[in-house]
Amino acid sequence: MPDLDILDLLDEQQRKDVLYAREHFLGGENLSEHITPQELEIVASYYKQQTEDGTSRNIATVVIGPPGAGKSTLIGLINEKCKDAGYEQLGILSDCDELKPKITALYPDKDLDSDDVHRKSRDLQDVLRDQIYENEDSFVQPILGLPRQRVAAFVGEASKQGYDVNLISVEISSEKSVQRVADRLGETRDDQGNPTGQYTDPEWAYDAAAELVGVYDFCKQHLSEQLNGYALYNNENISPVLVEAHNFPYAKNKEYEEESRLEIIRLENNWDRGEKYIER
């Protein structure tokens, strides 16, 4: 969209929060390029926490969607319903956003650069995933802002490691992505009222949402031999709407599927791409 000022998509408070974050969250101290023993302990502790109730084996669930799409929310909803219905849950959550607060907590006396914390969290996520592959644990991997070739490479690697790979796509518009990352930034505030929540650059969020358009259809068309099943959700409004699914293990059982649709999916006439669950 030419000549678009991303900040024009935000209300006054959201704009103030983003401008504050750009001034205060960036340009801080950088962490070492190397992974320290203390940082490895973050991975070990997180892995132990994620596996204390046991995990299933050799199932990878890849969840793609732009920032603010509700990937983590949907993962939590599916896990909750699986637990209630006696199903195996999705597995270890391999999400760098889960590691970021642990990294900042490790360095309480440092004013860390937000982008560098993200870099470090990605490095630790790679270590975590190596351990997952080594132990053949099931896991769920949120992915955002990656072109289709890199999504395909990730699916291919998990398949090569012997995993049954399922794909979930959560779609929202670029405008909605920008608004939600701004809301997330302002979820917590300090004593002066300044935002202290998670910061994602809204311009990057806008571009990431645009870049993901067509990735789900590309994966269906070109990765069918590597995918066990797939599902598409839209989360533009209040709750995620299941648009379509094929051989998706978390929508197979009819009784469970109907319960999900009533209590999680809440099918509503709120998206022009599709209003009904379609089994293809």
Whether the pLDDT of residue 13 is over 70: the answer is: yes
Instruction: For residue 56, give Cα distances in angstroms to 60, 73, 80, 211.
Output: 10, 21, 16, 33
Residue-wise pLDDT for 112-159, tens only, equals 888 899 999 999 999 999 999 999 999 999 987 677 888 899 999 999
Whether the pLDDT of residue 31 is over 60: the answer is: yes
What does the pLDDT read at residue 26?
86
In the chain, what are the domain boundaries?
6-240
Percent of the chain with pLDDT strictly greater than 90: 60
Whether the pLDDT of residue 36 is over 70: the answer is: yes
Confidence band of 267 (pLDDT split at 50, 70, 90): very low
Whether the pLDDT of residue 53 is over 90: the answer is: no
> What's the mean per-residue pLDDT of the chain?
85
Q: Do the beta carbons of residue 105 and residue 208 sit within 8 Å?
A: no
Beta bridge partners of 233: 170, 242
The rounded distance, in Å, linking the Cα atoms of 246 and 278 is: 8
What does the pLDDT read at residue 211?
87
Q: Do the beta carbons of residue 153 and residue 215 sit within 8 Å?
A: no
Whether the pLDDT of residue 2 is over 80: the answer is: no
Please enumerate in sequence order all residues whose Cβ is within 8 A of that of 243, keeping only pairs 6 or more positions apart, or say none. Answer: 232, 233, 234, 271, 273, 274, 277, 278
The rounded distance, in Å, linking the Cα atoms of 232 and 225 is: 18
Whether the pLDDT of residue 264 is over 50: the answer is: no
Whether the pLDDT of residue 212 is over 70: the answer is: yes
Percent of the chain with pLDDT strictly greater than 70: 87
The rounded distance, in Å, linking the Cα atoms of 106 and 96 is: 15
* CATH number assigned to the domain with residue range 6-240, chosen from the 4 options 3.40.50.880, 3.30.420.40, 3.40.1180.10, 3.40.50.300: 3.40.50.300
Residue-wise pLDDT for 72-127, tens only, equals 989 988 888 777 777 778 899 999 999 999 999 999 998 888 889 999 999 999 99
Whether the pLDDT of residue 162 is over 50: the answer is: yes
